[in-house]
């Protein structure tokens, strides 16, 4: 860390915060949620690990990396809850979810249940493994926009009236930014006999976590989104009684030696991002830790209020059910399908230099904003005006 990087950061000094990231100063990066943003300090820490590996590959892979990753998992446990031994590194949420589902030995007739707001790639994983094994995938429709936790929990509970082998539930939904009421949904899934996998891709760093208390069997969370880890860093938690028979997506030397050993080595790879998890957690703390989480949530709620007012539109979830992201419907003049959403995203990026994800749902377009320490309120106003300007000229 350079001296300026170890000083306390004033959360209102957005220019100073922005300088801690490699982000192009010319863009308005309102999409922390999809791919995160890597701080210089974390990239430097990862580069130092890469340099160690390059200086003496034999010693690094045989002697150094094992203890380094064990201490990184201990830090993860201290931050996210549970015991070191219950946490394993995976590359990303996709890989962790695939590992759990593929390990389950699904049988014909088994029911796998998820919601209509599950992440697209996760739905594909579930479709693949249910089709492969003759199991049945049930996708429970959730109301959108969400009005409150009760309606969501009730929609889920109505589908939990048959035996379910596996329930896959998001902690924070990608497209709608909705925090699912897991405290009600997991007990309903348990009553149907289900094992529960929580997709916490957006959880670590966006909300405060004590993973074992969620009450799931498995939890997968990305550290490379809201915890500022270098990309390719995700963490899989397995309850102690759900570790046997759980295999990584690549079987390697650790096979048969237990959960920790199997996930510790899945072949030669660049371990630098995982080994630098300490720098990511230190950076999150430096920006405020739990205070950063609260500030981002307030900033996102403010952004949702500004944009819904500017566009006279609705948010996909109430602020009380969201954290550092908000999804807002675009004015009716900008209707269309996935191609229109993609064309609009490209236009906002190329012409207005604003980065946001957009989706089409039932002919209407929705746009998600993220709130991170480096974002200013006026960036959301500029987005609001850009969309209104597009509406005024009749489209892009």
Ligand X SMILES: Cc1ncc(COP(=O)(O)O)c(C=O)c1O
Task: Based on the shown chain and the rule CB under 6 A, indicate whether residue 174 belongs to the binding site for ligand X.
Answer: yes
**Pairwise CA distance, residues 67 & 275, whole Å:** 10
> Is 122 an interacting residue with respect to ligand X (CB under 6 A)?
yes
Q: Is 355 in the site for ligand X (CB under 6 A)?
A: no
Stretch that binds ligand X, among 42-50, 52-60, 78-86, 195-203 (CB under 6 A): 195-203
Beta carbons of 107 and 137 less than 8 angstroms apart: no
Helices (H), 56-119: 57-59, 65-80, 93-103
52 in contact with ligand X (CB under 6 A): no
Which tokens go with 101? 């589902």
Could you tell me the two tokens for 200? 């916490």
- C-alpha–C-alpha distance, residues 202 and 223, integer Å: 8
Q: Which stretch binds ligand X (CB under 6 A): 92-100, 207-215, 308-316, 326-334?
A: 92-100
189 binds ligand X (CB under 6 A): no
> Binding of ligand X at residue 116 (CB under 6 A)?
no
Phi/psi region, residue 136 (left: phi>0; alpha: psi -120 to 50; beta: rest), is: beta
- 222 is a site residue for ligand X (CB under 6 A): yes
Counting residues that bind ligand X (by CB under 6 A) gives 13
With CB under 6 A as the contact rule, the residue among 31, 92, 98, 115 that binds ligand X is 92
Binding ligand X (rule: CB under 6 A), the pick from 21, 60, 89, 119 is 119
In the complex, least distance from residue 35 CB atom to ligand X, rounded to whole angstroms: 8
On whether the CB atoms of residues 316 and 177 are closer than 8 A, the answer is yes
Which residue lies nearer to ligand X by CB, 98 or 297?
A: 98
Of 396, 371, 382, 393, residue with least CA distance to 14: 371
The reply to whether 266 sits near ligand X by the rule CB under 6 A is no
Which of these ranges, 115-123, 160-168, 359-367, 378-386, lies near ligand X under the rule CB under 6 A?
115-123
Largest CA distance in the chain: 64
Interface with ligand X (CB under 6 A), residue from 49, 129, 152, 170: 170
From 32, 17, 25, 8, select the one nearest 205 (Cα to Cα).
32
Tell which phi-psi region holds residue 110, choosing left (phi > 0), alpha (psi between -120 and 50) or beta: beta
Burial class (CB in 10 A: 0-12, 13-18, 19+), 290: exposed
> Is 374 near ligand X (CB under 6 A)?
no
Min separation Cβ 55 and ligand X, Å: 30
94 near ligand X, rule: CB under 6 A: yes
Give me the DSSP letters along 145-163. S---HHHHHHHHHHHTTS-
Coil vs helix vs strand at 342? helix
Sheet holding 358-361, edge to edge: 325-329, 364-370, 358-361
User: Nearest approach, Cβ of 328 to ligand X (angstroms)?
Assistant: 17
Question: Rule CB under 6 A: is residue 93 a binding residue for ligand X?
Answer: yes
Which listed range, 87-95, 208-216, 244-252, 387-395, lies at the site for ligand X (CB under 6 A)? Answer: 87-95
Q: Is 223 in the site for ligand X (CB under 6 A)?
A: no
Only one of the segments 57-65, 86-94, 210-218, 279-287 lies at the binding site for ligand X (rule: CB under 6 A); that segment is 86-94
User: Which stretch in 88-96, 257-265, 284-292, 317-325 sits in contact with ligand X by CB under 6 A?
Assistant: 88-96
| Cα–Cα dist 198/215, whole Å | 9
Least distance to ligand X from the beta carbon of 323, Å?
13
Three-class secondary structure of residue 129 per DSSP: helix
Q: Should residue 178 be labelled a site residue for ligand X when binding is judged by CB under 6 A?
A: no
Q: How far is CA 202 from the centre of its chain?
A: 2
Q: How far is CA 375 from CA 39, 115, 238, 365, in A?
A: 14, 31, 35, 23
Assign 199 to helix, strand or coil. Answer: strand
- Least distance CB 396 / ligand X (angstroms): 25
What's the min distance (Å) between Cβ of 200 and ligand X?
8
Shortest separation between residue 170's beta carbon and ligand X, angstroms = 5
The window from 63-71, 140-148, 194-202, 275-283 that contacts ligand X (CB under 6 A) reads: 194-202
- Bridge-based pairing of strands 136-140 and 111-115 is parallel
- Minimum CB separation of residue 121 from ligand X in Å reads 6
Among 16-24, 114-122, 145-153, 309-317, the segment contacting ligand X (CB under 6 A): 114-122
List interacting residues with ligand X (CB under 6 A): 34, 92-94, 119, 121-122, 170, 174, 199, 201-202, 222
């Amino acid at each position: 860390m350079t001296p300026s990087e170890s000083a306390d950061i004033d959360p209102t000094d957005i220019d100073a915060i922005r300088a801690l990231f490699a982000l192009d100063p010319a863009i308005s990066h309102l999409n922390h949620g999809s791919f995160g943003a890597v701080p210089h300090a974390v990239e430097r820490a990862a580069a130092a690990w890469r340099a160690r590996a390059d200086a003496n590959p034999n010693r690094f892979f045989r002697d150094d990396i094992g203890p380094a990753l064990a201490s990184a998992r201990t830090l993860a446990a201290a931050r996210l809850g549970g015991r070191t031994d219950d946490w394993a590194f995976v590359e990303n949420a996709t890989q962790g979810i695939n590992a759990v589902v593929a390990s389950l030995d699904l049988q014909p007739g088994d029911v796998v249940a998820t919601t209509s707001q599950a992440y697209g790639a996760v739905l594909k994983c579930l479709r693949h493994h249910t089709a492969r094994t003759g199991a049945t995938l049930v996708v429970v429709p959730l109301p959108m926009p969400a009005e409150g936790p009760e309606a969501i929990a009730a929609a889920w509970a109505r589908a939990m009236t048959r035996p379910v082998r596996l329930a896959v539930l998001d902690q924070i939904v990608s497209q709608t930014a909705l925090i699912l009421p897991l405290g009600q949904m997991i007990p309903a899934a348990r009553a149907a006999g289900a094992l529960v996998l929580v997709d916490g891709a957006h959880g670590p760093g966006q909300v405060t976590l004590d993973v074992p208390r969620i009450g799931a069997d498995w939890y997968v969370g990305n550290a490379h989104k809201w915890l500022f880890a270098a990309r390719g860093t995700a963490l899989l938690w397995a309850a102690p009684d759900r570790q046997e028979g759980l295999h990584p997506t690549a079987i390697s030397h650790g096979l048969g030696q237990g959960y920790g050993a199997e996930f510790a080595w899945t072949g030669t790879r660049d371990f630098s991002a995982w080994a630098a998890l300490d720098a990511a957690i230190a950076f999150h703390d430096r920006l405020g830790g739990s205070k950063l989480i609260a500030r981002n949530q307030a900033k996102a709620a403010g952004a949702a209020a500004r944009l819904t007012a500017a566009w006279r539109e609705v948010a996909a979830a109430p602020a009380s059910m969201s954290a550092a992201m908000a999804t807002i419907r675009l004015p009716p003049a900008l209707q269309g399908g996935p191609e229109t959403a993609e064309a609009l995203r490209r236009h906002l990026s190329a012409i207005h230099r604003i980065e946001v994800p957009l989706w089409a749902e039932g002919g209407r377009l929705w746009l998600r904003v993220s709130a991170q320490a480096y974002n200013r309120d006026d960036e959301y106003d500029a987005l609001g005006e850009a969309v209104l300007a597009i509406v005024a000229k009749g489209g892009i």
